[in-house]
Amino acid sequence: MRIVTFINEEAGITKGVPRVGALLDDTEFILDFTSALRGAGKSLDETDARGAQANLLAWFDLDGAGFKRALEVYNQLARKELSLEKALQENLLSKRATVRLLAPVPRPGKLIAIGLNYRDHAAESNMPIPEQPVVFSKFTTSVIGPDELVILPQTSEQVDYEAELGVVIGRRTKNVSREDALSYVLGYTNINDVSARDFQFADGQWQRGKSCDTFAPMGEAIVTTDEVPDPHKLSIKLRLNGKTMQDSNTDQLIFGVPELVAFLSETITLEPGDVIATGTPPGVGFARKPPVYIKDGDVMEVEIEKLGTLRNPVSAAREAVGSAA
Protein backbone atom coordinates (compact mmCIF):
# COMPACT_ATOMS: atom_id res chain seq x y z
CA MET A 1 0.00 0.00 0.00
CA ARG A 2 1.18 3.52 -0.83
CA ILE A 3 -0.02 5.88 1.89
CA VAL A 4 -0.27 9.59 1.12
CA THR A 5 -1.41 12.75 2.87
CA PHE A 6 -3.25 15.16 0.63
CA ILE A 7 -5.43 18.23 0.36
CA ASN A 8 -8.48 18.01 -1.85
CA GLU A 9 -8.52 21.12 -4.01
CA GLU A 10 -12.06 20.60 -5.30
CA ALA A 11 -14.82 22.69 -3.78
CA GLY A 12 -16.58 21.02 -0.87
CA ILE A 13 -16.51 20.52 2.84
CA THR A 14 -13.13 18.76 2.78
CA LYS A 15 -11.35 21.40 0.69
CA GLY A 16 -8.11 22.49 2.32
CA VAL A 17 -8.28 19.90 5.11
CA PRO A 18 -5.35 17.44 5.18
CA ARG A 19 -6.49 13.85 4.68
CA VAL A 20 -4.64 10.55 4.78
CA GLY A 21 -5.32 7.91 2.15
CA ALA A 22 -3.87 5.28 -0.14
CA LEU A 23 -3.14 5.39 -3.86
CA LEU A 24 -5.13 2.74 -5.69
CA ASP A 25 -2.91 0.94 -8.18
CA ASP A 26 -3.74 1.37 -11.86
CA THR A 27 -6.53 3.86 -11.14
CA GLU A 28 -6.93 7.62 -10.92
CA PHE A 29 -8.23 7.44 -7.35
CA ILE A 30 -7.09 7.72 -3.74
CA LEU A 31 -8.92 5.90 -0.97
CA ASP A 32 -9.76 8.52 1.68
CA PHE A 33 -9.14 6.89 5.07
CA THR A 34 -11.45 9.30 6.89
CA SER A 35 -14.34 8.43 4.59
CA ALA A 36 -13.60 4.72 4.99
CA LEU A 37 -13.63 5.15 8.76
CA ARG A 38 -16.86 7.11 8.76
CA GLY A 39 -18.48 4.35 6.77
CA ALA A 40 -17.57 1.78 9.40
CA GLY A 41 -20.58 2.64 11.53
CA LYS A 42 -20.46 1.23 15.04
CA SER A 43 -17.90 -1.45 14.28
CA LEU A 44 -15.15 0.77 15.74
CA ASP A 45 -14.51 1.98 19.25
CA GLU A 46 -15.65 5.61 19.24
CA THR A 47 -12.49 6.83 20.99
CA ASP A 48 -10.32 5.25 18.30
CA ALA A 49 -12.55 6.67 15.58
CA ARG A 50 -12.42 10.23 16.89
CA GLY A 51 -8.67 10.00 17.47
CA ALA A 52 -7.94 8.88 13.92
CA GLN A 53 -10.08 11.64 12.46
CA ALA A 54 -8.64 14.38 14.67
CA ASN A 55 -4.96 13.38 14.65
CA LEU A 56 -3.18 12.59 11.40
CA LEU A 57 -0.50 10.60 13.24
CA ALA A 58 -3.17 8.15 14.45
CA TRP A 59 -3.50 6.88 10.88
CA PHE A 60 0.06 5.52 11.02
CA ASP A 61 -0.63 3.24 14.00
CA LEU A 62 -0.62 -0.36 12.78
CA ASP A 63 -2.59 -1.37 15.89
CA GLY A 64 -5.10 1.47 15.69
CA ALA A 65 -8.69 0.74 14.79
CA GLY A 66 -8.67 3.53 12.20
CA PHE A 67 -5.73 2.09 10.27
CA LYS A 68 -7.15 -1.42 10.48
CA ARG A 69 -10.49 -0.28 9.05
CA ALA A 70 -8.79 1.67 6.25
CA LEU A 71 -6.64 -1.37 5.40
CA GLU A 72 -9.76 -3.56 5.33
CA VAL A 73 -11.45 -1.26 2.81
CA TYR A 74 -8.26 -0.96 0.76
CA ASN A 75 -8.00 -4.76 0.56
CA GLN A 76 -11.63 -5.04 -0.46
CA LEU A 77 -10.93 -2.68 -3.34
CA ALA A 78 -7.71 -4.49 -4.28
CA ARG A 79 -9.52 -7.85 -4.35
CA LYS A 80 -12.45 -6.35 -6.30
CA GLU A 81 -14.80 -7.27 -3.46
CA LEU A 82 -15.74 -3.60 -3.41
CA SER A 83 -16.09 -2.03 -6.84
CA LEU A 84 -14.79 1.42 -7.71
CA GLU A 85 -18.34 2.36 -8.71
CA LYS A 86 -19.67 1.42 -5.27
CA ALA A 87 -16.79 3.19 -3.53
CA LEU A 88 -17.48 6.34 -5.56
CA GLN A 89 -21.15 6.19 -4.65
CA GLU A 90 -20.19 5.98 -0.98
CA ASN A 91 -17.77 8.95 -1.36
CA LEU A 92 -14.76 6.87 -0.30
CA LEU A 93 -12.49 8.07 -3.13
CA SER A 94 -10.79 11.27 -4.25
CA LYS A 95 -9.47 11.84 -7.74
CA ARG A 96 -5.69 12.00 -7.93
CA ALA A 97 -5.93 14.88 -10.38
CA THR A 98 -7.86 17.07 -7.92
CA VAL A 99 -5.59 16.75 -4.89
CA ARG A 100 -2.24 18.17 -3.84
CA LEU A 101 0.10 15.77 -2.11
CA LEU A 102 1.72 16.87 1.12
CA ALA A 103 4.60 15.15 2.89
CA PRO A 104 3.17 11.74 3.81
CA VAL A 105 3.88 12.60 7.47
CA PRO A 106 3.47 16.40 7.42
CA ARG A 107 4.42 16.89 11.07
CA PRO A 108 6.16 13.84 12.54
CA GLY A 109 6.28 13.55 16.31
CA LYS A 110 10.03 13.07 15.88
CA LEU A 111 12.28 13.34 12.84
CA ILE A 112 15.46 11.47 13.75
CA ALA A 113 18.40 11.40 11.37
CA ILE A 114 21.49 9.22 11.14
CA GLY A 115 24.84 10.62 10.02
CA LEU A 116 27.71 8.92 8.22
CA ASN A 117 25.77 5.70 7.64
CA TYR A 118 27.28 4.80 4.25
CA ARG A 119 30.92 3.73 4.28
CA ASP A 120 31.85 5.69 1.18
CA HIS A 121 30.15 8.82 2.48
CA ALA A 122 32.13 8.67 5.72
CA ALA A 123 35.30 8.34 3.63
CA GLU A 124 34.46 11.30 1.37
CA SER A 125 33.72 13.34 4.52
CA ASN A 126 37.17 12.44 5.91
CA MET A 127 35.58 10.90 8.98
CA PRO A 128 36.11 7.45 10.52
CA ILE A 129 33.51 4.69 10.16
CA PRO A 130 31.29 5.13 13.23
CA GLU A 131 31.19 2.33 15.79
CA GLN A 132 27.57 3.09 16.62
CA PRO A 133 24.92 5.21 14.88
CA VAL A 134 25.53 8.94 14.79
CA VAL A 135 22.18 10.43 15.80
CA PHE A 136 20.85 13.95 15.32
CA SER A 137 17.44 15.44 14.68
CA LYS A 138 15.73 17.82 12.30
CA PHE A 139 13.00 20.11 13.57
CA THR A 140 9.66 18.98 12.19
CA THR A 141 8.94 22.49 10.86
CA SER A 142 11.51 21.69 8.15
CA VAL A 143 9.21 19.08 6.55
CA ILE A 144 7.72 19.82 3.13
CA GLY A 145 6.08 17.65 0.48
CA PRO A 146 6.71 16.74 -3.15
CA ASP A 147 7.12 19.64 -5.58
CA GLU A 148 7.24 22.19 -2.76
CA LEU A 149 9.99 24.80 -2.84
CA VAL A 150 13.19 24.40 -0.86
CA ILE A 151 13.92 27.97 0.26
CA LEU A 152 17.56 28.97 0.55
CA PRO A 153 18.32 30.83 3.81
CA GLN A 154 19.46 34.38 3.22
CA THR A 155 22.58 33.91 5.36
CA SER A 156 23.78 30.59 3.91
CA GLU A 157 25.84 30.14 0.75
CA GLN A 158 26.52 26.41 1.05
CA VAL A 159 23.25 24.48 0.92
CA ASP A 160 23.66 20.82 0.02
CA TYR A 161 21.44 17.88 -1.00
CA GLU A 162 21.30 14.41 0.61
CA ALA A 163 19.16 11.53 -0.70
CA GLU A 164 18.00 9.26 2.11
CA LEU A 165 15.76 6.29 2.82
CA GLY A 166 13.16 7.25 5.42
CA VAL A 167 11.67 4.74 7.87
CA VAL A 168 8.20 5.45 9.26
CA ILE A 169 7.40 3.89 12.62
CA GLY A 170 4.06 2.09 12.93
CA ARG A 171 3.93 0.94 16.55
CA ARG A 172 4.95 2.35 19.92
CA THR A 173 8.46 1.01 20.26
CA LYS A 174 10.64 0.67 23.35
CA ASN A 175 13.57 -1.72 23.86
CA VAL A 176 12.71 -3.76 20.78
CA SER A 177 15.16 -6.41 19.59
CA ARG A 178 16.79 -6.38 16.17
CA GLU A 179 14.89 -9.56 15.32
CA ASP A 180 11.52 -7.94 16.01
CA ALA A 181 12.31 -4.40 14.90
CA LEU A 182 10.84 -4.55 11.39
CA SER A 183 7.42 -5.50 12.78
CA TYR A 184 7.32 -2.00 14.32
CA VAL A 185 7.85 -0.30 10.95
CA LEU A 186 4.91 0.92 8.89
CA GLY A 187 6.88 1.57 5.72
CA TYR A 188 9.45 3.62 3.84
CA THR A 189 9.61 6.96 2.08
CA ASN A 190 12.05 9.25 0.25
CA ILE A 191 13.74 12.04 2.19
CA ASN A 192 16.11 14.79 1.10
CA ASP A 193 18.21 15.82 4.12
CA VAL A 194 18.95 19.32 2.85
CA SER A 195 21.83 20.83 4.81
CA ALA A 196 23.38 24.29 5.18
CA ARG A 197 27.01 23.21 5.41
CA ASP A 198 28.33 26.62 6.48
CA PHE A 199 25.91 26.61 9.44
CA GLN A 200 26.62 22.96 10.21
CA PHE A 201 30.40 23.25 10.30
CA ALA A 202 30.60 26.71 11.89
CA ASP A 203 28.23 25.79 14.73
CA GLY A 204 30.17 22.70 15.74
CA GLN A 205 26.92 20.71 15.83
CA TRP A 206 24.33 19.97 13.18
CA GLN A 207 20.95 21.08 14.47
CA ARG A 208 20.60 24.53 12.89
CA GLY A 209 22.20 23.61 9.58
CA LYS A 210 19.91 20.61 9.17
CA SER A 211 16.68 22.17 10.44
CA CYS A 212 16.10 25.30 8.38
CA ASP A 213 12.55 25.71 7.13
CA THR A 214 11.90 23.51 4.04
CA PHE A 215 15.05 21.41 4.65
CA ALA A 216 13.26 18.04 4.93
CA PRO A 217 11.41 17.26 1.69
CA MET A 218 9.59 13.93 2.07
CA GLY A 219 7.40 11.67 -0.09
CA GLU A 220 5.56 11.24 -2.15
CA ALA A 221 4.21 8.19 -0.33
CA ILE A 222 4.89 5.77 2.50
CA VAL A 223 5.29 2.38 0.84
CA THR A 224 4.29 -0.25 3.39
CA THR A 225 6.70 -3.01 4.40
CA ASP A 226 4.78 -5.75 2.60
CA GLU A 227 5.79 -4.10 -0.69
CA VAL A 228 9.44 -3.66 0.38
CA PRO A 229 10.43 -6.99 1.96
CA ASP A 230 14.12 -6.04 2.12
CA PRO A 231 14.92 -2.33 2.62
CA HIS A 232 18.63 -3.11 2.26
CA LYS A 233 18.57 -3.87 -1.47
CA LEU A 234 17.25 -0.65 -2.95
CA SER A 235 18.88 1.59 -5.53
CA ILE A 236 19.10 5.18 -4.24
CA LYS A 237 19.91 8.19 -6.41
CA LEU A 238 19.84 11.95 -6.39
CA ARG A 239 19.68 14.01 -9.56
CA LEU A 240 20.40 17.74 -9.66
CA ASN A 241 18.95 19.40 -12.76
CA GLY A 242 18.82 15.96 -14.38
CA LYS A 243 22.43 15.07 -13.61
CA THR A 244 23.01 12.09 -11.32
CA MET A 245 25.01 13.22 -8.29
CA GLN A 246 24.44 10.28 -5.94
CA ASP A 247 24.07 6.69 -7.12
CA SER A 248 24.31 3.88 -4.60
CA ASN A 249 22.35 1.10 -2.95
CA THR A 250 21.01 0.66 0.56
CA ASP A 251 23.07 -2.52 0.82
CA GLN A 252 25.90 -0.11 1.65
CA LEU A 253 24.28 1.03 4.90
CA ILE A 254 26.58 0.55 7.90
CA PHE A 255 23.63 0.21 10.28
CA GLY A 256 20.50 -1.27 8.72
CA VAL A 257 16.89 -0.57 9.60
CA PRO A 258 16.55 -3.24 12.35
CA GLU A 259 19.77 -2.07 14.02
CA LEU A 260 18.67 1.56 13.95
CA VAL A 261 15.20 0.90 15.34
CA ALA A 262 16.61 -1.33 18.09
CA PHE A 263 19.40 1.12 18.96
CA LEU A 264 17.14 4.17 19.11
CA SER A 265 14.44 2.39 21.10
CA GLU A 266 16.92 1.61 23.87
CA THR A 267 16.69 5.21 25.05
CA ILE A 268 13.97 6.87 22.96
CA THR A 269 10.34 5.79 22.80
CA LEU A 270 9.43 5.66 19.12
CA GLU A 271 5.80 6.30 18.24
CA PRO A 272 3.57 5.88 15.17
CA GLY A 273 4.43 8.55 12.64
CA ASP A 274 7.97 9.10 13.87
CA VAL A 275 10.42 9.15 10.95
CA ILE A 276 14.04 7.99 10.81
CA ALA A 277 16.25 9.30 7.99
CA THR A 278 18.85 6.56 7.59
CA GLY A 279 21.77 8.50 6.12
CA THR A 280 23.04 9.48 2.70
CA PRO A 281 25.39 7.80 0.20
CA PRO A 282 28.48 9.42 -1.35
CA GLY A 283 28.26 12.19 -3.91
CA VAL A 284 27.11 15.08 -1.73
CA GLY A 285 27.95 18.55 -2.89
CA PHE A 286 30.38 19.75 -0.23
CA ALA A 287 32.71 16.77 -0.82
CA ARG A 288 33.00 17.36 -4.56
CA LYS A 289 35.97 19.11 -6.12
CA PRO A 290 35.01 21.82 -6.68
CA PRO A 291 32.04 21.78 -4.28
CA VAL A 292 28.52 21.89 -5.72
CA TYR A 293 25.82 23.72 -3.78
CA ILE A 294 22.21 24.14 -4.74
CA LYS A 295 21.06 27.51 -6.07
CA ASP A 296 17.95 29.38 -7.11
CA GLY A 297 16.16 27.59 -9.96
CA ASP A 298 17.71 24.16 -9.35
CA VAL A 299 15.58 21.01 -9.25
CA MET A 300 16.46 18.07 -6.99
CA GLU A 301 15.09 14.55 -7.44
CA VAL A 302 15.49 11.70 -4.96
CA GLU A 303 14.73 8.33 -6.56
CA ILE A 304 14.63 5.13 -4.50
CA GLU A 305 13.78 1.76 -5.96
CA LYS A 306 10.18 0.68 -5.19
CA LEU A 307 9.45 4.07 -3.61
CA GLY A 308 9.35 6.36 -6.63
CA THR A 309 10.74 9.86 -7.05
CA LEU A 310 10.62 12.92 -4.80
CA ARG A 311 11.04 16.17 -6.74
CA ASN A 312 11.65 19.60 -5.26
CA PRO A 313 12.65 22.89 -6.91
CA VAL A 314 14.92 25.39 -5.17
CA SER A 315 14.22 29.07 -4.66
CA ALA A 316 16.09 32.00 -3.18
CA ALA A 317 12.80 33.82 -2.64
CA ARG A 318 12.32 35.17 0.86
CA GLU A 319 9.05 34.90 2.71
CA ALA A 320 7.73 38.19 3.99
CA VAL A 321 7.92 38.65 7.75
CA GLY A 322 5.39 40.76 9.55
CA SER A 323 3.50 41.10 12.78
CA ALA A 324 -0.16 40.64 13.42
CA ALA A 325 -2.21 43.78 13.74
Residue type, 36: A
Angle, helices 46-54/65-78, rounded to nearest 10 degrees: 80
Averages of pLDDT over runs of 10 residues in the chain (325 residues) are: 92 73 95 82 48 78 94 95 94 94 97 92 79 96 98 96 98 98 98 97 93 98 97 98 97 97 98 98 95 98 98 82 44
**β partners of residue 240:** 243, 300
What pLDDT does residue 43 have?
A: 45
Q: Which domains does the chain carry?
A: 2-101 (2.30.30.230), 111-315 (3.90.850.10)
Is the dihedral angle over the CA atoms 4, 10, 16, 17 positive or is it negative?
A: negative
What pLDDT does residue 44 have?
A: 45
